[in-house]
Structure 1
Amino acid sequence: MSIQYDYLLNELNRTPFSVIIAKYDQILGPRILFSSCDFKDPNFVKSLLRDSLNTKNKYVQLNFTGFYGQIDKVEIEDNTARGGKQLYAIILLRHKDYPPIPVIHFKRIEQIFHKIGKKRILSDHNDSFMNFYKEVHEIYLEKQELLPLESINLQIRSGINTIHGFCQLILEENRNKKRISKENLIPYIKMMLDSCNDVIDAVEKSDNLPI
C-alpha cells in the first residue's frame, strides 16, 4: 500500500504513536474495535491485518509512505471460536522518524491488554479498550517511559556518527599520504572520547529504563 494518509501523518506528528485494537473475526473478517485516532479508512486496517496474517510471526512490522505499523498478535481463549482461540491485534502506528518500539515494551502492553479480562475482550467492550489506551498512554507518555528510549537512540547514533566520521578522515588522509598535524589530531581525539562517553552514558541509561 503506497497511499499517503495525510490526516494520519498529521496525527502521528503530534503523538509518538496511535493505538488500534483490531480483531480477526472468523465470521465478519478483520475489523477495527478501537482506534485512538479518527481513522477514516477502515479498509486500510483490514489490509494491514491481512498482510500481517501472511507471516506466522507474533510481532510484525509493516512499512508505508511516511509511517509504519507495529502489530502484536494476541490470542484469547474462546470456546466458541474455531480452534478454541480468538485472535486480536494491538497495532501501534508510528511516524517514520521514530525508531521501532522494542518487543519488551510490547510484552508489557500485552499484559495491560490481558488485564481487561477475557469476558470483556471477547464482548468487544469499547470502554475497556479506551481504559487500556489511557493506561498505555499514561505509562509511555505522561510518565516518559518511552520517549527517553528515543532520545537514547539518537544519542547513541550521534556518538557513533562522530566516531565513524573520524575514522573516515584518518583513512582519507592515509590514502592521500598526508599526516594530520598534532594540533589538529588532539581536538579530534578529544571529540572521539566525548562521543565514546556519550554512547556509554546512553547505554547505561537504557539499562535503567523500566520494563
Structure 2
Amino acid sequence: MSFIKTLGVAICLLLPITLRAQENLTGFWQPQAALDYDVTPNYGHNFSIANRSFFLRDGGFDFKSRQIDLAHFSKWTLKDNQSIALGIQYRFRDFFEDASNELRFTQQYNFTYRPLTVRYGHRFRSEQRITTNLTTYRFRYRFTLDFPLKGQKLNIGEPYFAGSAEQLLSVAQGNSSQYDFRLNGQIGWQLDKGLKLQTGIEYRFEEFTASVVQHVIFLLTTVQLSI
C-alpha cells in the first residue's frame, strides 16, 4: 500500500509538468501482441508485433499511425533468476511518413529476485539502431517490480501491478549524446495459465539535459501468450 501511495504522489507531481509542457508533449497509443515459446527449459523465443499511432501532437489531437515494429528475441536462462538474450527488430516507418525504416540489434542481461511478495528486476541492454544515414548506439538500464494485487500469489483471473523506471543513453557519430528517462506503470490480469493482458501508461522525458525537454506519453495495451 505504501508503494501505491508513493505512485499516486508521483503522478500528482508529474501532472503540473504535463500541463506546462503542452507544446512539447506528444501522445502515442501502442497496442502490442507477444508470443513466448519455450524450446527447452533453458532456451526460448519471443515474437512481438506493435503498432504506434499518434493521438496527441503539436498541442492538439491527431490520430495517425506512425510505425509498425516486428521483433524477435532468443533467450537463454542461466539460473532460475538470470538470463541473457539476443534480439532483432525491424521498424517500418516509410509506410506512414517521410522517415527511414530501422533495423535494430539488441543484447540483454536480466536479473530478478523475490524476497517476499514483490519481485524486483534489473535489466541491462545495449542496442545498435541502424537507419539509412546513421547508426546509433544506445545503452539502457531498467529497474522493474511487479506484485499481485490480491493475496500473496498470482492466480488465474486475478490482477497484478507492474512498474518500471529506465535510464537511456544514445550516442552517434557527429551527434550530441542524448539522455532519456522513462516511467511505466501497468495493471495486468492473468486471464489463463499462459495468457496475460496488460494496460497502462508510460511517461518519457526525452533529451532531458537539453534546454527544451520533450515529453512523451504512451497509452499501452499488451496481450501476451506463453506456450
TM-score interval for Structure 1 and Structure 2 normalised by the shorter chain: under 0.3
The structure where helix makes up a greater share of residues is 1
**TM-score scaled to structure 1, two decimals?**
0.25
Q: Which has the higher strand share?
A: 2
Give TM-score, length-normalised by structure 2.
0.24
